[in-house]
Every structure is written in structure tokens, then in C-alpha cells.
Structure 1
Amino acid sequence: MADITSIACLYLLWKRERRRNARRLWVHETIRSRTKLGEFHRLLQELRLDDERFQRYLRLTPAQFDDLLARIGARISRLDTNYRRSISASERLSICLRYLATGDSYRTIANSFRVGISTVSSIVPDVATAIWDSLVEEFMAVPSTDEWRSIAGRFEERWNFPLCCGALDGKHVVIKAPVQSGSQFYNYKGTFSLVLLAVVDVEYCFREIDVGGYGRTSDGGILANSAFGAVLQSHVFVADEAFPLRKNLMRPFPGRRVFNYRLSRARMVVENAFGILSSQWRVYRHAFEVNIEVAEKCVKATCVLHNFMRRTTPPSALRGNIPVGEVDPLPGLRRVAANNSAREAIRIREAFKSYFSAEGTVPWQDNV
């Protein structure tokens, strides 16, 4: 009787082990047909014949996609093994871009491209990191002194605000409530979010970003200190009421209609940049249902891709550089004492207000 029991136990153990091994090596039929029916191998190759449809699908033109692939291909390529062929760098990039362009769940992306959900969950952060690392030095480098001066000149020519090096604002990036985070990422809008703080130039490009602030922190709770340190003396950034008044940061002035109007015109560039970012990358239309680290990587990738797309668009579609002279429209700012930053900020604001009401006036400002 004992022998029969032992044999039965051994048989059951063997059967369970066999079933487990079979499951470990099992690949679903939909994934096996990836190279024949997957979205990358079928639909995307057909879309390459139509630049406009391809761009609507991945947000990049075929030329921009190939350029980006050449820049990051070596970073995201994987080696083939004796058991399976690796997913190509082109397909990995397509999966990441499609996720950023739609905000669909990992499961939806996996079903479309006929890969595993775990595969998508590893591809998205890896490719997003590679995009940021490969593009940031060229497309989001901190401007030099001459570049700051050029930006200020274009701000004055286009938005009638002199000595302005950029517009500053924050955007709440909605995320799924992190585990055991309490109210740390809870914001005043009733959602959980990360804060994206950005300095934007006159061409709607991000000059500097900071990602990762807690959602409960107001937009003005974080300042891009490196950008403020690099800006030219007597030049300023413009922001809204959420930010404090500083000698190099101008905010609305209660009761000063003309000053507020001129500041708001200049500040529109950062609002427009956030709008363009959200319309291009629909992942911002939904809550990020990934962990904090992956969400930060995706945000940084979309911001540098935003600059990449604007800089690689044909020059005929972009506003050209405007020559900047050495004339100082507000010479009084250079004589402000530096021993009291709060008093200095007020005097700088008064200098702008006086300039906007005198020689710096524009014909339409009194009609607003």
C-alpha cells in the first residue's frame, strides 16, 4: 500500500513539474504571429507610404523617426539569443512613441504590437531614458550669454516685453495615486500629480525643466535656480501669481492694468507650449498608471521630443532669428542697488511699468 502511495505521489509531482515547465516555455499564438500581423510589421510599414498618416500615428514624420532612431538605436538595441530573436530598435522605439502619443494602457499597446505586457513595461522606460539622454545636450542645453540675449531680443520684437529671457510656469501631470504616499502627491485640484516646471522661450521651446515636485506643492514652490543663475544681469523671467516677486522674476501687479496686460502677453508662450505638448502627446490626457520613476522619464522624454520636433521642422515653417542690438531699453535697471532683493524687485517692476506707459507703449494696450 505504501509503495502505491509513493508511486502516486511521484506521478503527481512529475505531472505538476511538467505542467509548470510547459507553461514557462509557452507563447501565446497572438505573440507568435507578431512578425506577420503585429502593428509594427503591417500597419506601420504601410503608413510609411503616407507621411501625414505616419505622423498622426507616431507624432513624428518618417524623416524625424529615422533621425531619432539613428541617435538612440545603439542604446536601445538588444542581442538575439539561442531561444528567440530580440525586438528590433525600430520596433522598440515605435512601441514607446505609440504609448506616449496615445496614453493607452500597456495591455492595449501589447495587444496591438503582439508582444507581452511585461515587454512593453520594460521597453517604455528604457526607450524614454534613451531619448532624454541622447537629445538633451543638443535640444535642451542651458543657453549661453549670447543665446539669452537673442531670446530677449525676440521676446521684445514679438511680445513687446524687453529684457525678458523666458516665461516660467508649472503644470500638474496627473498620476495614479502611488502606494503608501498619503497626501504627498495630492494637489488642490483633487488629483494626484507630479509638477512639471518649465522655462519656455519665444519659439515655444523648453529651455529648462524640472520634473518630480510633489502635487501638493504649488507651482511657485519650485524655482529653476540654474536658469535664474545663468540669466543675464538686469534680465527677467515672467510668471503668474503663483510665483514670488524677485529681481529676476516678474509677476502680475495688482491694479496695474497695462503692466499686467504686457506681462500676460509675454507669459502666453509657456501656456501655449504646455498646450502643444498635451495635444501632441496624449499620454497627458490620462492619469499616468505607472510608478513615479517611469512617469518622470516619460515627461522628460516628451519635453525633449517637443524641442526635437520644433527644431527639426523645415526652416521655412519656423520663425527666423531676429538680430538683437546693444541698445538697452531700460537703462535704469542697471543702477538698482543689490543690497535688498525685495526692494530691488519692486523697483525693477516699477521701471517696467513706467516704460510700458511711456516710450515702450503699444497702440492697442489701452483698448484691452
Structure 2
Amino acid sequence: MYSDEQIKAAALLGLILLRRRQNRRRRYRKKRTIWVRKWIQNRSRYGATNTLLKELREGDEAFYKNFLRLSSNDFDYLLEKITPLIQKKDTFMRKAITLAERLVVTLRYLATVKVCALRKKIILGDSFQSLMYLFRIPTNTLSQIIPEVCKAIYDVLKDDYLKMPNTEAEWTKIADDFNTKWNFPNCLGSLDGKHINIKAPPNSGSLYFNYKGAHSIVLMALADANYKFTYINVGSPGRDSDGGVYSNCSLADAVTNNLLNIPNERPLPGRSTAVPFVFVADDAFALQPHIMKPFAFRNQSIQERIFNYRLSRARRIIENVFGICSARFRILRRSVELVPKKMKIIVCAIAALHNFIMSRKESANMYAPQGTFDVENEDGTIIRGNWRNEENSQHFVPLERIPRGISLEAKNVRDEYKNYFCREGEVPWQRNYI
């Protein structure tokens, strides 16, 4: 046991050492010379929101839409929706950044990408630095504003514009649209995934390291025939395989346990064998009774090639959705210097904004004008959408193709579709494209 004197002496020594350490830190700490830089204080007079954007809004609506990806009316609507979630109060020390500035800088951040003028290549990293000069908001403040506003956007839009179908009528409507537009009956959506590159998180090892040699999170998405997301799952580590991402997402669990009120099996038009409603996907996924993927590309019969062609027509939907999202929200085309949690919020906001814009006629005309998506002539000729003219990005890449086993039930379902496409469901031009 220590005596009271020894305890007091030890405590005094500890206090002395602590004071010395604090003094040493103060000695080497860089002293702040100014509270707020003068040019940042002039935000209300010269910031882009109150100068350039105001001028565009009053005199050039087309460029206003190009700047924010939204019409002025839709911007006002969205601002009103998120106001309760991002409202800040002025203090006696300074005025809060306005709500309009917060939303504008966030939309601009999602829409832009840094490019090297000499090599015309995407530069890794974020654009907080350039936004700071444009909007006169410090980078450390931007790093807080943008995730906060993205979360607010997702929260206010998800229930109305990113809602998973959960009734038989809603699923049947999607299946009817796929049959009418792409001649693929009993189809509930086009399924695919993309890697979104990020900076390697601290102490993450190889958890986020993908097959392309970069660190990423995975966006797994389902789209309907009208180029809208009906389901998204964001945040799985890049090292996970496609099967692992899908099997661990809530969609797989809901389908397996029949939690989505998907209609019961029914025969394809003109046939008698009942088959389940399915999602169409590429060969990165495992063939399952409710997931149709192409036949292997070796030693294909004519019937198998026809099936692959018909499936690829329906699967173009998700390709086009990913393509237009990355073309309009160009943050997806670069490696982002954000932790996975914040990047997940940003991707969710982009998906919600995509559906929101596609549902708002005024903004949709700019966001996806005629010729944006792939279209098909009467003879089956595919006219490639304008988004495909964009330079492919190494930071928004598809999932890895991995050979997998196939169940007998899944084979039978695919064979039933194959026979249908070659008989009752044949389209006149299909043999010209196999």
C-alpha cells in the first residue's frame, strides 16, 4: 500500500507532466491568423449562388438545368422538401450558410468531375477545392454540408420515388411493361451491379479491394421498363462476389421468403407450363428460378442464341440506367475521397434524384432528351443511346464474371423461356441478330 504522501506526489508529478505536454503542443501549434478569410465573407455578394446561378435562372433556363440537373421549379420543390432537415440558425458570431446554397453546392458536387486538361483523363479525388472557390465555402464546411444534404434528399424522396413494389398489381404492371416494350413476359426487372471506386478506408486491409485492383463499394440495383430504379443496395465491400452481394441483400431474402407479394407462377403467353416471374441479369449472376442469365457463349445452339438475344434486349434497361446516372452525376466516374459510409449516402441520393427527375417532365426533358436511351426500330435494329458516346470510366465498372453451378429447376425455367422465344413468342427479326 502507498502512503497518502506518495499518492499526492505521484498525482502532482502527473499534473506537471501533463502541463508540460500541453505547453509543448501549444508551442508548435499553428496560430490562427484570421477567423474567416475576407473573400469567403463576401459569399453573399459574389458567391455563385447569388451571381452566376441567379443570372442563369433569370435569363437561361437551359443552362440552369445543365448546371444543377434540375429545372428551377423542381429545385424549389426539392428545397422546400428538405428544408426541415437541413435548417440551420444564425448565431451572434456569423450567419448560417443559406439553404439554397447548401442544396446548390451539393447538386453541383454530384454533377461534376475533375479532369486533367493535358491528358484529358479523370483525376482521382474530390472537387471540394474547386467548389470552395466557386461558392466561397471552405472545404471543411463542404465535407459536412454535402453528406448531410444528400441524406436529406434521400430521406424525403425515397418513399415517393424510390419505393419497392409490394403489391401484385404493381409487379404485374412492371411485367406488362417489359412484355409490351421488350417482348419479355413475366419479367419483374433488370438486375445488375456496379463497383464504385473509393479511397481505401483506414485499417480495412483488402476488404474493399476488387478484381480490378481498386477499392470500391458495390451498387446492386433493379430497374423497371421505364428506366427507373425499383430497388437499390449500396455499400457491400468490393471484394465480395456478385453472388455474395445478391445473396446478402434484402431483395434476395424478400424473394426467397415471399415478402414482396410477387404474383404466383403463370404460363408464358400461348403455353401451358407455369413459370415464376423473373429478374433478367448478365452472366455475373447465378442462374436461379427467379433470375434468368444467358447461356454460356461456347457451342451455342440457334435456340440458345435466340434466348440470349431476347434476354439482352430486356437487360439493356439497367445498362441504360447506370449509363445515364454516371453521365449526369459524374461523381460516379471518379474515385472519391470519402469513407464508405458517406459514399453510400451519396449514391442513395443519386438514385433517388434519378427517379425524381425521370418523374418530373420539366427536368426529364433535359436530363434524358430524345436519343438518350437505346431504342429499337421496327426491324430490331438497336440505335445506341447518346450516353454510350461518353468515354467509359474505369471507376464505374461491372461485377466480375464467375462460373457457377445451375440447379435443375432453374434450367427448366430457362428452357421454357427458350422454347417460347423460338415458337409462340418469336419476333420477326430475331434471327437476323444472332
> Take 1:315 and 1:348, find their aligned partners in 2: how far apart are those partners?
41
Q: Is the 8 A contact 2:307 2:418 kept in 1?
A: yes
> Take 1:283 and 1:257, find their aligned partners in 2: how far apart are those partners?
37
1:277 maps to 325
1:342 to 2:412 alignment: no
1:232 maps to 263
Give the one of 100, 106, 116 matched to 2:110: 100
1:161 maps to 184
Give the one of 223, 226, 231 matched to 1:200: 223
Mean Cα displacement is larger for which, 195-204 or 214-223?
Answer: 214-223
> Take 2:151 and 2:327, find their aligned partners in 1: how far apart are those partners?
22
Give the one of 202, 215, 225 matched to 2:238: 215
> Take 2:339 and 2:364, find their aligned partners in 1: how far apart are those partners?
41
Secondary structure of 2:196's counterpart equals strand
Deviation at 1:316, TM superposition (A): 10
Deviation at 1:342, TM superposition (A): 2.7
Secondary structure of 2:208's counterpart equals coil
> Take 2:281 and 2:292, find their aligned partners in 1: how far apart are those partners?
6
Unaligned runs of 5+ in 2: 1-22, 114-125, 265-275, 369-405
1:79 maps to 89
1:8 maps to none
Mean Cα displacement is larger for which, 206-215 or 232-241?
Answer: 232-241
Secondary structure of 1:222's counterpart equals helix
Q: What is the number of equivalent residue pairs in this alignment?
A: 331
2:139 maps to 117
Q: Is the 8 A contact 2:220 2:233 kept in 1?
A: yes
Normalized against structure 2, the TM-score is what?
Answer: 0.73
Residue identity opposite 1:362 in structure 2? V
> Take 1:314 and 1:364, find their aligned partners in 2: how far apart are those partners?
36
CA RMSD of aligned residues (A): 2.2
> Take 1:24 and 1:153, find their aligned partners in 2: how far apart are those partners?
66
Q: Deviations over 1:157-184 (max 9, x none)?
A: 1111000010100011011121221111
Secondary structure of 1:23's counterpart equals coil
Residue identity opposite 1:152 in structure 2? A
Change (3 A) 1:129 1:116: same
2:49 maps to 40
Deviation at 1:42, TM superposition (A): 0.7
Change (3 A) 1:315 1:45: closer
Unaligned runs of 5+ in 1: 1-12, 319-340
Q: Deviations over 1:140-164 (max 9, x none)?
A: 1111221110010010111110000
Give the one of 77, 92, 100 matched to 1:67: 77
> Take 1:284 and 1:30, find their aligned partners in 2: how far apart are those partners?
31
Q: Is the 8 A contact 2:70 2:363 kept in 1?
A: no
Residue identity opposite 1:89 in structure 2? L
Q: Is the 8 A contact 1:237 1:249 kept in 2?
A: yes
Change (3 A) 1:210 1:187: same
Change (3 A) 1:307 1:96: same
Percentage of identical aligned residues: 43
Give the one of 250, 269, 286 matched to 1:244: 286
> Take 2:241 and 2:284, find their aligned partners in 1: how far apart are those partners?
7
1:3 maps to none
